[in-house]
Amino acid sequence: MERLLRKCRIRSQLVRECMAECLGVYVLILFGCGSVAQVTTTEDKKGQYLSINLGFAMGVTFGVFVSRAHLNPAVTLSLCVLGRHPWMKLPFYAFFQALGAFLAAATVGLQYYDAIRVYGGGELTVTGPTATAGIFATYPADYLSVWGGVVDQVIGTAALLLCVLALGDQKNSPVPDGLQPVLVGAAVLVIGISMGSNSGYALNPARDFGPRLFTYIAGWGVEVFEAGGGWWWVPIVAPCGGALLGTLIYELMIEVHHPLRLAEEQMPRQEPTEGKMGLELEEDCEKST
């Protein structure tokens, strides 16, 4: 058994990281979209809106625990901008994050196949009283304009990134490593409770696009990209803008003013000592002779 496992070991660091991203997002969407499916198909008899908030919050928490991954292309983008992550890895991470979301949506669709069919009267609908496409991807409320949706997603993702950066900053944050995923999940929970009614608080391009692509393939059709006035691009573009805004706010209002950072900037640069020590040794030898 041990020998077989050794043969399955992947040596490429990038491939291992991409697999972790895929698995982490899979866990997130499995719990998140699974909670939406249960609430929707039982018509709020086995859960309500808070159940969905808790499902996504715990999905994020366990997704991070399982994989120690970013789980979100917007987070990866922000870390690249900060210089904490190589730009070359960004497209690979984003692809595998979306793949994990797609596979999880397919799992939820398979698990709830009968319930979705019965709830929709045998039809797979995107809008209307028995719509089921919203189990997998986000759609705007009837009153929400596209511009209003962009603002909504930007604000929500900026709030999330502020929390993520604060919790992940080893210099500024006293939070133990094991507690960070729980607090990130708590941040997702409070954002869902306070900002979720407009358009479902996707906050994650992979979380929305992967499941939406699944619904397109699985029978809901092209309407998943047309509904809400062509809403599908908002949960992809707006979270990236919100992540960059949250990163900028954190850097300008927290990070740049931190005492440790100021001390590092004010500390005089030390010249290389390698050659200098050699000269000092030579001088000492000359004096002794």
Mean pLDDT rounded to a whole number for the chain: 89
Nearest C-alpha neighbor of 59 from the set 47, 46, 48, 72? 72
In the structure encoding, which two tokens stand for residue 208, read together? 């929305």
109 burial type by CB count under 10 A (0-12 exposed, 13-18 middle, 19+ buried): buried
Residue 219: its pLDDT value, please? 95
DSSP letter for each residue of 102-140: HHHHHHHHHHTHHHHHHHTTT---SSSTT--GGGTS---
Residue 93 sits in a domain of what CATH number? Answer: 1.20.1080.10
pLDDT digits (tens, 9 = 90+) for 164-192: 998 877 666 677 878 999 999 999 999 99
Tell me how far apart the alpha carbons of residues 133 and 271 are, in angstroms, rounded to a whole number: 62
Report yes or no on 1 lying in a domain: no
Contact predicate 50/7, CB 8 Å: no
Report yes or no on 211 lying in a domain: yes
Q: Looking at this protein, which amino acid is placed at residue 143? A: Y
Residue 5: its pLDDT value, please? 75
Contact predicate 153/202, CB 8 Å: yes
Return the minimum-mean-pLDDT range out of 54-58, 87-91, 126-130, 166-170.
Answer: 166-170
Tell me how far apart the alpha carbons of residues 37 and 286 are, in angstroms, rounded to a whole number: 83
Report yes or no on 277 lying in a domain: no
Our count of domains for the chain comes to: 1
In the structure encoding, which two tokens stand for residue 181, read together? 């995923």
**Can you tell me the mean pLDDT for 33-55?**
96
Tell me how far apart the alpha carbons of residues 35 and 257 are, in angstroms, rounded to a whole number: 41
Element (H, E) at 15: helix 13-41
CA separation (Å) from 132 to 36, 41, 43, 141? 10, 8, 12, 15
| DSSP structure class, residue 85 | S
Contact predicate 7/26, CB 8 Å: no
Please determine, for residue 289, whether its predicted confidence score (pLDDT) is greater than 80. Answer: no
Report yes or no on 45 lying in a domain: yes
Higher pLDDT: 276 or 197? It is: 197
The whole model's pTM is what?
Answer: 0.88
Scored b (16 or more CB within 10 A) or e, 41-80 reads beeeeebeeeebbbbbbbbbbbbbeebebbbbbbbbbbbb
Element (H, E) at 32: helix 13-41
- Residue 232, domain extent: 8-257
Contact predicate 39/51, CB 8 Å: yes
Report yes or no on 108 lying in a domain: yes
Tell me how far apart the alpha carbons of residues 97 and 21 are, in angstroms, rounded to a whole number: 6
Report yes or no on 148 lying in a domain: yes
Tell me how far apart the alpha carbons of residues 131 and 215 are, in angstroms, rounded to a whole number: 12
Please determine, for residue 284, whether its predicted confidence score (pLDDT) is greater than 70. Answer: no
142 burial type by CB count under 10 A (0-12 exposed, 13-18 middle, 19+ buried): exposed
Neighbour count for residue 18 (Cβ, 10 Å): 21
Report yes or no on 2 lying in a domain: no
Please determine, for residue 147, whether its predicted confidence score (pLDDT) is greater than 60. Answer: yes
Confidence of residue 105 (pLDDT cuts 50, 70, 90): very high
Tell me how far apart the alpha carbons of residues 22 and 104 are, in angstroms, rounded to a whole number: 10
CA angle at 143 for the pair 141 and 147, rounded to the nearest 5°: 90
Report yes or no on 284 lying in a domain: no
In the structure encoding, which two tokens stand for residue 210, read together? 């992967």
